[in-house]
Amino acid sequence: MIDIKLIREQRDLVKENIKKKFQEEKLPLVDEVYELDIKYRECKTKADNLKSEKNKLSAQIGSLMREKKVEEANKIKEEIAKINEDIPKLEKEEQELEEQVKKIMMVIPNIIDSSVPIGKDDSENVEIEKFGEPVVPSYEIPYHADICDLYNGLDKEAAGRTSGEGFYFLKGDIARLHSALLSYARDFMISKGFTYCVPPFMIRSDVVTGVMSFKEMEAMMYKIEGEDLYLIGTSEHSMMGRFIGQMLKEEDLPLTLTSYSPCFRKEGGSHGLEERGLYRVHQFEKQEMVVLCKMEDGMDWYNKMWSYTVEFFRSLDIPVRTLECCSGDLADLKVKSCDVEAWSPRQQKYFEVGSCSILGDAQTRRLGIRYKDPEGTKYLCSLNNTVVATPRGLIALLENNYQEDGSLLIPKVLQPYMGGFTKLEKIKKEK
């Protein structure tokens, strides 16, 4: 949510930003909220003036009564009685106008950074840099679900019976490799000075609306029937909610946190071949990083955070690239975002394994997360980034380490989490 001052003072800037995001249908909202804000402030001023007048008149009554000017005192009491009738009406109108302003402000997109490329959708995202040489081996790389099958490591059929489409059982060495990836990600971020957290996996609606747009919420979140609780789509949601309504200490900044959680997403629609495997599922696990810092430090942290994900995947010897998200591909709360994509030797192209975003004060303003410095009270800048999300991280690991004989090399950094094994041998004959 942007600062209402931008609407009051720079409406053209807000409108131009909406155009850059190709959301022209929202343009009338800027003028609408501008007019509502004027009415809200006028109403508030009237109510405040009446309250002030009431206090002055009340003070006069005591003096008049002491001077035995009862008739004058009674006239003032009549004035106060009329004021007491008017104040609740104004307060009700003020509250209604404030709610209308907030409702509209919640759907006006955040101001994007000047460096963001302008484009309508993800097809216009821009490659920034490649890290590591993408390799296409001379032998065929099987589909990742078939690689798992060589190790008897995946059962989607049974998951269909227990939970339906979009769920899975991981078993044996594949399940262990999955856990090793997450454990290594945890320790990797701890080594960067981040504090490890395991948050709640359900959050209330006021947290949900504080961390994401309504459009994202409807597309992603699972609601617990009969309760004001939602399953989290990422641990960033809980981690930001942890500080709702809090005034943080300047000396504690920045807060650098890394969190583990399962994640739950609707992921609607059909996605062809990938539907058969693990690429797009309703439940997965993720190691996340979340930073709360001063606004002026935000871009420095943004660049550090995406570079940590690149470093993580390169330590697994997986080639990656970074992709700048264009204006039309940015969620409404984001100032700037980039994706980290891993190389798929099977598909001979890159696919998304993580996303890094800076949101300015969009989330902290909604959630009321602030700090004080000598200049006064300020909202914090929030950032989030994927360290690794599985199974996508697991898919990249499987494809880039699959050998011609069906064995699987275990990257050196994962070997301590795999009992010292350097490779896995297939335990099931190829069909």
Q: What is the pLDDT of residue 275?
A: 57
pTM above 0.85, yes or no: yes
**Confidence (pLDDT) at 273:** 43
More confident of the two residues 42 and 279 = 42
Strands 376-379 and 255-264: unpaired
- Quote the CA–CA distance of 36 and 44 in Å, as a whole number: 12
Domains of the chain, by residue range, sit at 4-105, 122-424
In this prediction, residue 218 carries a pLDDT of 79
Which helix (H) or strand (E) segment holds residue 128: the answer is strand 126-131
Q: What is the pLDDT of residue 60?
A: 85
Backbone torsions φ then ψ of 266, nearest 5 degrees = -65, -45
Supply the pLDDT for residue 430.
45
Alpha helices (runs of H) in 294-361, residue ranges in sequence order = 298-315
Report the CATH fold assignment for 4-105: Helix Hairpins (1.10.287)
For the cut 60, the answer to whether the pLDDT of residue 429 exceeds it is no
At the fourth CATH level, the homologous superfamily of domain 122-424 is Bira Bifunctional Protein; Domain 2 (3.30.930.10)
| Mean pLDDT on 351-379 | 96
pLDDT attached to residue 68: 75
The full DSSP string for 60-100 is HHHHHHHTT-HHHHHHHHHHHHHHHHHHHHHHHHHHHHHHH
Q: What is the mean pLDDT of residues 100-123?
A: 96
Q: What is the dihedral of CA 242, 247, 253, 257, to 10 degrees?
A: 0
For 136-189, write each residue's pLDDT tens digit. 999 999 999 999 999 999 999 999 999 988 899 999 999 999 999 999 999 999
Tokens of 204: 């209330």
Q: Which residues contact 20 (CB under 8 A, 6 or more apart)?
A: 112, 116, 118, 327
Could you list the beta-strand ranges (E) of 281-348: 283-293, 320-324, 336-344
- The whole-number pLDDT of residue 42 equals 95
Chain mean position to CA 151:
35
Q: Is residue 431 over pLDDT 70?
A: no
Q: Which residue has tokens 């979140």?
A: 221
Please tell me the distance from the alpha carbon of residue 402 to that of residue 423, in angstroms, as a whole number: 10
- Burial pattern 220-255, b for ≥16 Cβ within 10 A else e, equals bbbeeeeeebbbbbbbbbbbbbbbbeeebeeeebbb
Q: Which of 199-203, 272-276, 349-353, 385-389 has the lowest mean pLDDT?
A: 272-276
Collapse the DSSP code of 78 into the 3-class scheme (helix H, G, I; strand E, B; otherwise coil) and give the result. helix
Taking the C-alpha atoms of residue 215 and residue 201, their distance in angstroms, rounded to an integer, is 21
Average pLDDT estimate for 225-253: 96
Question: What phi, psi does 291 have (nearest 5°)?
Answer: -130, 135
pLDDT per residue as tens digits for the range 296-333: 999 999 999 999 999 999 999 999 999 999 999 999 99
Residue-wise pLDDT tens digits, 25-81: 999 999 999 999 999 999 999 999 999 888 888 878 877 877 778 888 888 888 888
pLDDT of residue 270: 44
Segment 281-295, tens digit of pLDDT = 999 999 999 999 999
Given pLDDT bands bounded at 50, 70 and 90, which one contains residue 219? confident
Average pLDDT over residues 221-249: 95
